[in-house]
């Protein structure tokens, strides 16, 4: 079995850690984002932010914004 070294792990790190976080609602766990078409309001949405196919929805409360590692991106604390 090959030896796993810290050097190998370091090669995956980038300096744009900010981009690895996405905003979400800490109250319900849903995704949230700023919709410029709604006067820059934070709104819950469904869909992928990378696509244009996002749909804001109203779960009955205003989003309580928190940040979490974006799905699909390996996040390594350092």
Q: Which of 25, 31, 33, 43 binds Zn ion (CB under 5 A)?
A: 25
Q: Which is nearer to Zn ion, 60 or 72 (CB)?
A: 60
Confirm or reject binding of residue 43 to Zn ion (CB under 5 A): no
Q: How far is the CB of 45 from Zn ion (least distance, A)?
A: 11
Note every long-range contact of 67-72, with CB atoms under 8 Å and residues 24 or more positions apart, other chains counting. Answer: 67/21, 67/22, 67/23, 67/24, 68/21, 68/22, 68/24, 69/20, 69/21, 69/22, 70/19, 70/20, 70/21, 70/22, 71/22
Which residues lie across from 34 on neighbouring strands?
42
Q: Which is nearer to Zn ion, 8 or 46 (CB)?
A: 46
Residue span binding Zn ion (CB under 5 A) among the ranges 4-12, 23-31, 46-54, 66-74: 23-31
Contact residues for Zn ion (CB under 5 A)?
25, 27-28, 30
């Amino acid at each position: 079995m090959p030896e796993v070294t810290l050097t190998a792990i370091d090669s995956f790190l980038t300096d744009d850690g900010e981009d690895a976080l996405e905003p979400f609602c800490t109250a319900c766990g849903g995704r949230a984002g700023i919709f410029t078409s709604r006067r820059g309001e934070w709104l819950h949405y469904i869909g992928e932010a990378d696509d244009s196919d996002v749909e804001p929805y109203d779960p009955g409360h205003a989003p309580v914004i928190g940040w979490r590692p974006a799905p699909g991106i390996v996040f390594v604390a350092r």
